[in-house]
Structure 1
Amino acid sequence: MTRLVFFCGHAGAGKTSLAKRLIGPLIRQSGEAFCLLDKDTVYGAYSASVMQVLTGDPNDRDSPVYLQHLRDPEYAGLMEVARENLALGVNALVVGPFSREIRSGALFDRAWLGIGDDIGVHVVWVDLDEDDARARIVARANPNDAYKLAHWDDYRLRRFVPAAASYPGLIRFDNTAPCPDDDAALLQALLARTR
């Protein structure tokens, strides 16, 4: 059974760092092939070019223009790349916020994902409180975060935090100060076979 693993959460939560930390152990312990598909890596240069044309700001990744015209096509393309890898027998770690897709239940819907019952799905929500996330965003000084920081009061209203009881298939990971045991527990959860 091939695995589709999502690392979801808000900006600054540490989704990409966590996925990169776990991909080596996942490969070693499972003996299987994995690929890492980070939305910002896959679509970064493309989105910069489009946003330069649309708004004059190549680093815009959070304005109403981006959210209306570019966000959903990015996610659709990311899922298409994941499905191509899965069809080749390569497990896929997919990194992106995906907050809308969790809220709507789409990430738990095989029809929306476009996958069959032969794919094991895990959805990890990377938790980090707002103040810590904002501090990490400021510290990393990524130009793509400029709009978000300049409009933080608007952005923070969209910071959806899924309640575990409402999303029983969701794996929560507290990324405030993870220790090796936390990573090991998550690793074992991801190696478990699921439907």
Structure 2
Amino acid sequence: MGNNQSRRIEERLARELGLVLILLLLALIQVTLLTAPTGFCIPLLLVLAIGRALVGAGTAEPVRGLMRGLWWAFYGGIALDLLGSMPFGSHTIAHLVAVFVVGLVARRFVVERPLVSLLSVACGTLIYEAVLWLLVLPPDSDWQVYVRVVMLPSLLLALIPTLPTVALLHRLLRMVKD
């Protein structure tokens, strides 16, 4: 019994380490290759974490899906914090808050519908950017300028990979369960 249990723990640790490495690689791609000439980048890790929480919300165990989405948000946020220039922890906190709020609200809807995915990522992106604004920028900064210059372009860039990413996650997680 101890041998099987230690093998399961080793397999779980190997899967988590693989996930961490994949998300670190995706963070590197997000920061370097997916950056637009204007300086904005597609928030791929946020879309992945929200998508993972959404895919789990449509199952018999929605809390487990939300927890996995939060782990993805944590790993992705740490990776962005390691590669970024903002204060350490800011991306992680913003990812976790966005995925948690969206994951809780999305449990009430049929998440297989494309409109739910798009609205979830849109709300999650706005929450993510608002949390970053609260954590990083000075309190006297103009929020209207931040909305026009940062939040809206980030929102538009986040919506681009949403549908293919969520569809791919649905397919991959269905293959893993079978």
TM-score (norm 2): 0.33
Determine which structure has the larger strand proportion and give its number: 1
Determine which structure has the larger helix proportion and give its number: 2
TM-score (norm 1): 0.30
